[in-house]
Amino acid sequence: MLRVEHLTKSFGELIAVDGLSFTAEAGKIFGLLGPNGAGKTTTISMICGLLRPSSGSVHVDGIDLGADPIAVKRRLGVVPQEIAIYEDLSAVENLRFWGGIYGLRGAALRSRCEELLRLVGLADRSTEPVRVFSGGMKRRLNLAMGLVHGPKLVLLDEPTAGIDPQARLNILQVVRDIVAEGTTVLYTTHYLEEAEHLCDELAIMDHGKILAQGSISELKAQLGDGSLLTLQGDFDPVQPEKVSAIGGLRTLEWSAERARFMVERGASVGTVLEDLYGSGLHLRDVQIKEPNLEDLFLKLTGRELRD
């Protein structure tokens, strides 16, 4: 449904998006996960035709954006990171205005607006001016506006950033609902748990590049199959040799105060710990858990996703 090939955008010296390629399959949620400044919004802006790419191509439903931008825009719904609504109009007025731009009229427009206001949980507040809405309510209206013309592909740019838990749950549910009806979604976020639970396919992005891509289980498999062991303590820089002899243990990170290992599936965590304590390491804290995407991000970039 969406094919992005070698997409690049430079702002002067800065390469904000650097040779991005991915395909979002029809009826699925494709996620772009990355910290602030990764290039998510720049990517969305190029796909919806707001920013001209420096190079590369975008195809939506087989149509080349460069060749026929109008046909592409008709199939696209965009929910921008910066909320774009008229504060003095009510929710339903905002929606009707937007639906009108897309050519909806009369009874069709009215019933579509009612349906969407119900979907985002704003039906009972629809006639109040938007300026009295909470941030979460504005985000939900923003989402409804992106869906008003029933687009096949919806681009959602961090739709849940900084909002209350109830609005977040509503937005995530709406995303699942429209995907169940066959819509394709491109979803950007810097929230790892959200990406992990929502997306069918995920690309992890930083500095304009995709670092890893696949289904959640494929991405986790890149960490290897096993448990993650994190040790805090005072580690002499020469001590890695002491633990490298321990079976079933693979070193991911070793610094003066922290060491991280993969305990391979099949190896006994108990035996590994006994060997570690026996090696004379000075340990302050020991933590064992199943690896998650944060660990993959750390492995790929050497830093935490949360800034």
Ligand X SMILES: Nc1ncnc2c1ncn2[C@@H]1O[C@H](COP(=O)(O)OP(=O)(O)O)[C@@H](O)[C@H]1O
Please choose which of ligand X, Mg ion, none residue 170 contacts, taking the beta carbon within 5 to 8 angstroms, the exact cut-off set by kind: none
**Contact with ligand X (CB under 6 A): which of 38, 171, 179, 246?**
38
Q: Which is nearer to Mg ion, 24 or 243 (CB)?
A: 24
| Chain position carrying tokens 């020991």 | 286
CA trace torsion 265, 267, 269, 272 (10° rounding): -140
User: Least separation, in Å, of the C-beta of 7 and ligand X?
Assistant: 12
The burial of 250, by beta-carbon neighbours within 10 Å (0-12 exposed, 13-18 middle, 19 or more buried), is given as middle
Site membership for ligand X, residue 16 (CB under 6 A): yes
Site membership for ligand X, residue 53 (CB under 6 A): no
Please choose which of Mg ion, ligand X, none residue 36 contacts, taking the beta carbon within 5 to 8 angstroms, the exact cut-off set by kind: ligand X
Instruction: Centre a 10 Å sphere on the Cβ of residue 120 and count the other Cβ atoms it contains.
Output: 23
Q: Which is nearer to ligand X, 29 or 32 (CB)?
A: 32
**Contact with ligand X (CB under 6 A): which of 39, 53, 77, 151?**
39
**Judged by CB under 6 A, which stretch of 40-48, 121-129, 163-171, 195-203 contacts ligand X?**
40-48
User: Least separation, in Å, of the C-beta of 154 and ligand X?
Assistant: 17
Q: Which is nearer to Mg ion, 40 or 112 (CB)?
A: 40
User: Least separation, in Å, of the C-beta of 117 and ligand X?
Assistant: 28
Question: With left for phi above 0 and alpha for psi between -120 and 50, is residue 229 left, alpha or beta?
Answer: beta
**Contact with ligand X (CB under 6 A): which of 34, 49, 53, 151?**
34
Q: Which is nearer to ligand X, 42 or 94 (CB)?
A: 42
Site membership for Mg ion, residue 42 (CB under 5 A): no
Site membership for ligand X, residue 37 (CB under 6 A): yes
**Contact with Mg ion (CB under 5 A): which of 2, 7, 41, 143?**
41
Site membership for ligand X, residue 40 (CB under 6 A): yes
Site membership for ligand X, residue 189 (CB under 6 A): no
> Half-sphere exposure (CA, 13 Å, Cβ side) for 294?
11
The residues binding Mg ion (CB under 5 A) are 40-41, 81
